[in-house]
Structure 1
Amino acid sequence: MSQTPGSRGLHTALKTAKGRSTASQRWLQRQINDPYVRAAKAAGWRSRAAFKLLELDERFHLLKPGLRVVDLGAAPGGWTQVSVQHGGERARVVALDLLPMDPVPGATILQGDFEDLAAEQAVLAALDGPADLVLSDMAPNTTGHTATDHLRIIALVELAADFARKVLAPGGAFVAKVFQGGTERELLNALKRDYAQVRHAKPPASRKDSAEAYVVAQGFRGGAARS
């Protein structure tokens, strides 16, 4: 059953714009009138991004009880919360971020760089085995220059995909944010070698004016993909 929030067309104006830039005013106006922001607060999710994972899961059936899940770039923790909720008591969910993050009951929170070997080893130790699902809602700081931003996020996805290749169990899945324009051919070909299915999706919770989409790779080939 879909957990997508609806909008009743209500509009709330900013009480004051004093001291705020035009861009800040636009961002705040969008936030207070975003049904996903309101629904996230009502449901106890830390961010509206939780709905993106819920919607991707509804389509691709990513989250199952007892899975070992790694959430890269996890702060503030919306995807971690969803992973814990769907994984149940037997699940092992590890959240990793460069920034400190408040605890999420049922998850292990690690602070560090996923590119570091020490972080990789800490993740595997916390999982007590290989991962079943690696999630990445990470995005680089944007410049406003479409081509530059596209190259930056593709580079980040390549690093996340390499991490997933090292920690995933055969049959596992990898989900990562990309920008419109899709996944670069070289990266897409590598994912297709590593996984049985690779698809793109833009969940309804992604804002219509946002360039973001997600690549969903399922059926990790394991040892064969690493050779």
Structure 2
Amino acid sequence: MTSNHELDDAAEALPPAVSELFGTGASTARGERTRQELIVAAKICFEEFGYTKTRISDIVQRAGVSHGNFYRHFTNKADVLTAAIHPCVCDLLQGTRRNGRSDSGDLSALIASTTSYFTVYARHRQLMRVMHEAAAAQDGSGFIEKWLLIRREFTARTSGWLGHLQERGVIAYDCDVDTLTEALSAMTEQLAHLEIGLPEKAPRAEQLIRMGRTAGEIWYRSIPWTPRAVPPAS
């Protein structure tokens, strides 16, 4: 389990454009308590009813506050969903950072990274499912733009890592780093969505380990290592 201190570090590490999506909190202690009550209530409602079926009236009723209090802190339900996913985003960021990738062709490091991603994803599987639903809703709320901005933070880390390896001659100089990043990221995200997010039951730990190993091996074999890197696994 990721500690609160680690999540705080991950939140501070978010680029300004992403941090701004989650807001700065209320100006008073009482206002912040109300805001947090709304976020907790919204998370419960979203996970129980889904994004589309959740109404703002459901959220305020569960939080025990008025509609006016809701709109004092949030513009719409996409706005409160964005606030609700903040811990999830930080957990994913910190989990994959803690099990980072190496500066060479290290299969074990890639397996550790993908396994960590799936493990954290499973911890937030219900909310991740809601995020997919909200992103596909096309309801004019602007959530899809927010979600894509958050996703770009994760893919930028991968492309930056691959670019670093390319500069050092560890992977082929003619590798299309951006396209490879998108392909590997999309594969990993879709596998998580289909095998972790959508099923009725949460995955067992051994399933997450198997998924992490398989995805890590796919990453490893898809990256065009040069002879300077560790030889491909047999």
Note whether the superposition's TM-score is higher than 0.5. Answer: no
Using the size of structure 2 for normalisation, the TM-score is 0.29
Using the size of structure 1 for normalisation, the TM-score is 0.30
Higher Rg: 2
Is the strand fraction higher in 1 or 2? Answer: 1
Is the helix fraction higher in 1 or 2? Answer: 2
Higher relative contact order (CA 8 A, sep 6+): 2
